[in-house]
Structure 1
Amino acid sequence: MDESTRIELEAAAFRRLRQHLMEERTDVQNIDLMELAGFCRNCLSRWYAEAAEERGIELSKEEAREDFYGMPYERWKAEYQR
C-alpha cells in the first residue's frame, strides 16, 4: 500500500470514529471514555490542534474543539453532558 492510500484510510477511520462519538454515542460521557480508554473527545480535539501546529497552522483550543465537536463546545456540553 502506498503512503497516500494509507493516509487516506487513516483519515477515513478517524472521521468514522468522530462520527461514532459525536452522532451515534452522545450518551457516552467524556469521563467514561477517559476511565475506560484513557482518552476522550477533548483529547482527540487536542491531538487535532497539535497536528495542525506541527504543520504550521494556528488553531486555538476552542477552534479545534469546535471543528471536532461540529459545534461550539459550550453548546455540546449543554446538549449532551450530564
Structure 2
Amino acid sequence: MYPGENGPIDSIRLEVFYEALQDQRAFQLVETIIGKDQTIELLEKDIEKPITFNEYPRDLTWLLSMREKLNQCIQLNLHTK
C-alpha cells in the first residue's frame, strides 16, 4: 500500500499477485468443467514445449489470449447448464 491523493493505493506487486490468483482460480474452474488432461491440452496448445516451472510462455499476447480462452470455456459452461 502506498499513500495516494484519495487514500491508500495498492502496490503493483499486490495487483499482479491478485491477478495471478484469479488466473489460478480460473484454471481450477476450467479443470472441473473439462477435466485435468483437457485443461493441460488447452494450456499447451500452439506452444513448442510442455509448460514447466522453468519453461513457459512469457508473451503478454499469449497470456491474455489464454485467459480469454479460459473465460470462454467458463462462459460456455454457464450457458449450457
TM bucket, shorter chain: 0.3 to 0.5
TM-score of the aligned structures, taking structure 2 as reference length: 0.35
Greater CA radius of gyration, 1 or 2? Answer: 2
TM-score of the aligned structures, taking structure 1 as reference length: 0.35
